[in-house]
Amino acid sequence: MNNKLYGNLIFELSQPGRKGYSLPKNRFGDYKVPADMQRKEAAQLPECDEMTVVRHYTNLSANNFGVDNGFYPLGSCTMKYNPKINEEMAALPQFAALHPLQPAETTRGAEAVCTLLCKALCELTGLHAFTLKPFAGAHGELTGLMIIRKYHESRGDMQRRLVVVPDSAHGTNPASAAVCGLEIVEVKSLADGTVDVEALRELIATVGGENIAAMMMTNPNTLGLFERQIPAIEKLIHGVGGLMYYDGANLNPMLGAARPGDMGFDVMHINLHKTFSTPHGGGGPGAGPVGVRKGLEPFFPMVSPYHGNFAVVMRAYAYILSLGREHVKEVGPLATLNANYIKESLKDVYELPIDGLCKHEFVFDGLKDKSTGVTTMDVAKRLLDYGYHAPTIYFPLLFHESLMIEPTENESKETIDGFIGVMRQIAEEAKTNPDLVKSAPHNTPIGRVDDVLAAKHPIVTYRQMSNE
Ligand SMILES: *Cc1c(COP(=O)(O)O)cnc(C)c1O
């Protein structure tokens, strides 16, 4: 907002000789930096008074949108609000200041946190043992597949190189299988968005069951749908000697409702940063612990030194403890209720390609009325004008105008009603004043950017306004 007045860069506000600091008295006498280490000319640093610096950075920070400012319905990400207490626990110097090479007898507390978190994860998932080493969800997938590969090799089953992946899977699933040196075979989904069991049966017959290493499933899947055919699928895969892998990135709505271990899965990963509290905007750090059923733990590989991203582990443990055994069970049902409430309240104006009960998130295929020419991109941009973060758009790739909404369990009914009201308002504007929506955003520091131009002619340097 004040950017025009105050300049985009602190350098543009610089005035020669202006100072906003004072240094303490020189206590070193007339010591001089050796001549060969001295600069030939003065460093090009901004010279500003204190208030200019304070206002510049405060105004910049106010241009940022975060969950502490407003509702953030980004799909496929889950944890958006990360309770502050978890940050405080992770920052405790007794944990944060540990060195990984300290003698083991001085790090017993951190070890206990790891052991206790693994125990809690076993209880929540119904699996037997966990390793905390993987650094992310995708790293967990790779770790899990390495375990599966070693298991088959330990039995002399060298030919098992195929991994069955549904067409709705997150892109990391086939990528991890490929990195692990395995081959991917895709199984189709039904029109209702879940895995087609008959297609799986045919696929197994075609490729030969004795070649199947594993099947990877995400549940609820990337459309937010519970895979109801897991018992039949598990029977088919186990029947030919393959193992079942559970991509647990969407574990949030399962908390307290159902456990992958009880569904017959052998190996899974959990995205601690998605289900158990760690801010992950900007891409990390995260943690992707891997759990296995009894008998597979000897195959845990060494995928990182020490205990992975320990601060993420600390946050997860603090989060689980602060909810406690009884309240952790409310997470899944509340997230599911909030998502279904939004879906049902908007499905008369937004296209719902797959109807029925969803879990923690769901996907619209743009506005219902396609005659206005208003796209998902336009709706997302217009939401910014109303002070909402946009949902995930154009993912999953199954639909042309995907708009993926995930409210999470911690939002109040009033907040959710406010969002529903604005989404309806935008649908109305699309009819009465489509140009208003197509040219949005209007109230943000930067208006509609030209993505095509940005991709074709990227300008990655900034030309400074001259103040001379
Ligand atoms: C996010 C996600 C992943 C990958 O997790 P990262 O931590 O980003 O590597 C895998 N599968 C699904 C379903 C996801 O949503």
Residues 87 and 458: their CA atoms lie apart, in Å, by 37
Opening angle at CA 147, ends 116 and 197, nearest 5: 105
For 316, the 3-state DSSP assignment is: helix
Banded pLDDT at 333 (limits 50, 70, 90): very high
Which amino acid is residue 285, in one-letter code? P
Q: Which of 353, 382, 356 is nearest to 366 (CA)?
A: 353
Q: Could you tell me the pTM of the whole model?
A: 0.88
* pLDDT value, residue 1: 40
What tens digit of pLDDT does each residue of 426-459 get?
A: 999 999 999 999 999 999 988 998 889 989 999 8
Residues 4 and 115: their CA atoms lie apart, in Å, by 54
Residues 290 and 267: their CA atoms lie apart, in Å, by 7
Residues 233 and 189: their CA atoms lie apart, in Å, by 13
Mean pLDDT of 283-308: 93
* pLDDT value, residue 465: 63
For the CA of 222, the nearest atom of ligand 1: 13
Banded pLDDT at 371 (limits 50, 70, 90): very high
Write the CA distances from 444 to 187, 299, 435, integer angstroms. Answer: 43, 52, 17
Pocket of ligand 1 (CB under 6 A): 76, 136-138, 170, 172, 218, 222, 247, 249-250, 271, 286, 288
Opening angle at CA 114, ends 113 and 116, nearest 5: 65
Q: Name the residue at shortest CA distance from atom 7 of ligand 1.
A: 137
Mutate to test the pocket of ligand 1, among 225, 227, 247 (most ligand atoms within 8 A of CB): 247
Share of the chain above pLDDT 70, in %: 97
List helix spans (H) across 24-107: 50-62, 84-91, 93-96
* pLDDT value, residue 466: 57
Residue 341 scores a pLDDT above 70: yes
Residue 418 scores a pLDDT above 50: yes
What tens digit of pLDDT does each residue of 87-134 get?
A: 999 999 999 999 989 999 999 999 999 999 999 999 999 999 999 999
Residues 345 and 356: their CA atoms lie apart, in Å, by 13
Q: Which of 214, 211, 235, 232 is nearest to 144 (CA)?
A: 214
Banded pLDDT at 3 (limits 50, 70, 90): very low
What tens digit of pLDDT does each residue of 239-274 get?
A: 999 999 999 999 999 998 999 999 999 999 999 999
304: CA distance to ligand 1 center in Å?
Answer: 18
* pLDDT value, residue 7: 59
Give the chain's mean pLDDT.
93
**Could you tell me which residues are beta bridge partners of residue 131?**
290
Q: Which of 129, 31, 86 is nearest to 279 (CA)?
A: 86
Hey, which of 10-14, 312-316, 444-448 has the most confident mean pLDDT?
Answer: 312-316
Structure tokens at 252: 């949030």
> Are 364 and 426 in contact, with CB atoms under 8 Å apart?
no
Residues 318 and 457: their CA atoms lie apart, in Å, by 46
Q: Name the residue at shortest CA distance from atom 5 of ligand 1.
A: 137
Mean pLDDT of 288-296: 98
Mean pLDDT of 190-201: 96
Q: Which of 311, 403, 297 is nearest to 350 (CA)?
A: 403
Q: Name the residue at shortest CA distance from atom 8 of ligand 1.
A: 137
Which amino acid is residue 305, in one-letter code? P
* pLDDT value, residue 176: 98
* pLDDT value, residue 86: 95
Mutate to test the pocket of ligand 1, among 79, 139, 274, 361 (most ligand atoms within 8 A of CB): 274
